[in-house]
Structure 1
């Protein structure tokens, strides 16, 4: 397993992204701290200089583990299940651009908030129909581009669909694609899972990405989450992807990144 840290150019201070500002500078800082990879959080790939990111990663010896798509929802308010058909088309178009962007970086693409929530659609049956149609389109593009999509299990206070690993297993199995996997997050698991270790083992090879934050969404070691159980279960299922630190940037971004790295290296 490799350690990654989330980086973002601009976001609310309440958002759980660690290193902030210029991407190239954050990539350099992540490498200096000792991270193996970075997770890019972007709203629209067309606004990002891909070549500059590739150059910075090559220069500093890190890779891109993953692309977070949540800013497309937070900034532009687009979702795959939006009641407005034009907004849905834009969300699918954006997802396809994320997939092509990821194909150049050999990384996974996260599907979290961009999937939308049932209450915003207003019709559960319609929501599931729209999400299934959108996922089929995205999966087909991901298979062609050889990119893995990971659907995030998010706690009930932020999402009203796919809160647990068990629900996520049922969802991804429906599509019968090796390019669709489950994305777990220790912050959300702390609220939703009856046994994080057992449920990770149940998911097995379906696990495609992991977010790391403590129970209070501070960096690991600042709360009460049992990371040793999670790491043990991930090792047992042979998970070899990234553990990506997605936590509040407190007390400062660099202190959060450094503290998380020190704690997680100790466990690994």
Structure 2
């Protein structure tokens, strides 16, 4: 994954633990509940925890979406997501959904929206049935035709019959012209994960970024109980990128204490 730590899991866990990280969000391409024990063992042996299961590779690597015109592709995409939800449940963590909801084609938008809504409802129910919770990520229109703002995603969450929440990503909020600090202030309590990257570049965080203390303050004031994910480009050196972001976050946090 271009926005994730570029190393085998065991090595990534070891290096991140050395830097001071608490856990990892694992991006899953094709894996189900049978992988839970081995995954937890690998991560915990390095002193970290699995905090969430992401599903980005389902679309990013295999081009499977919930709105594909081909019914077989839609079924395959949903099957992958349901497996990820069962894996998340076995680990006792949430499962996230981003670009796998797909993009609209001319003349098919109404049908595609209905397909996506039905699939997300099924996914939320499956997650809840297995002890997990779906977190829906508002993403920019460059990634998907559906649910670009926190308000749009929250309307979907509120329509579900199963527990669900939001993932907020500063990159996607910026791309949609949504003020990230204001969005966190408003939605911290229903947000399970905040994904962070440097403004404009989507690279590692920088010491002195004035938005970081404001975001951390908003999270604290809003009763946030989720996790922070450093989802950004690696600049060809994941350990260095992770160290830069860790330093920027701890510097911002120390300024508030």
* TM-score normalised per structure 2: 0.90
Cα offset, 1:261, TM superposition: 0.8
- Alpha-carbon deviations, 1:82-114, whole Å to 9, x = none? 111111111111111001111122222110011
- Of 140, 156, 160, the residue aligned with 2:145 is 160
* C-alpha distance after superposition, 1:110-161 (max 9, x if no partner): 1001111223x75221111101111121111111112111111112322232
What is residue 116 of structure 1 aligned with on the other side?
102
Q: Which residue of 1 aligns with 2:234?
A: 249
Structure 1 residue 183 and structure 2 residue 167: aligned? yes
When the two chains are superposed, the root-mean-square deviation of aligned CA atoms in Å is 2.1
Work out whether 1:232 is the aligned partner of 2:223: no
1:176-230: per-residue Cα shift (whole Å, max 9, x none)?
A: 532x111101112223244322222322422121111111111111796712222
CA distance in 2, matches of 1:100, 1:64: 14
1:243 deviates by 0.4
Contact 1:16 1:247 in 2 (8 A): yes
- Cα distance between partner residues in 2 of 1:24 and 1:225: 34
Does residue 201 (structure 1) correspond to residue 181 (structure 2)? The answer is: no
Cα separation, partners in 2 of 1:105 and 1:192, compared to 1, 3 Å: same
Structure 1 distance, partners of 2:25, 2:18, is: 16
Gaps of 5+ in 2: none
Name the CA shift for 1:248/1:112 in 2 (closer, same or farther; >3 Å): same
TM superposition score normalised by structure 1? 0.87
Q: Of 31, 34, 40, which aligns to 1:45?
A: 31
Q: Deviations over 1:59-84 (max 9, x none)?
A: 22211111221111122211112111
Q: State whether structure 2 residue 156 is matched by structure 1 residue 171.
A: yes
* CA distance, structure 1, for counterparts of residue 185 and residue 125 of structure 2: 28
Do 1:24 and 1:53's aligned partners in 2 also have CA atoms closer than 8 Å?
Answer: no
Q: What is the distance in 2 between the residues matched to 1:173 and 1:79?
A: 22
Provide the secondary structure at the position in 1 that maps to 2:219.
helix
SS of aligned partner of 2:135: strand
The offset of 1:49, in angstroms, is 4.6
- What residue is the counterpart of 1:74 in the other structure? 60
Find the counterpart in structure 1 of residue 43 from structure 2.
Answer: 57
Point out which structure has higher relative CO (alpha carbons under 8 A, 6+ apart).
Answer: 1
SS at match of 2:52: strand
1:24: which partner in 2? 10
Name the residue aligned to 1:192: 176
Q: What residue ranges of structure 1 are gaps of 5+ in the alignment? A: 1-10
Report the Cα distance in structure 1 between the residues aligned to 2:95 and 2:107, rounded to whole angstroms: 27
Q: How many residues align?
A: 252
Residue of structure 2 in register with 1:218 after alignment: 203
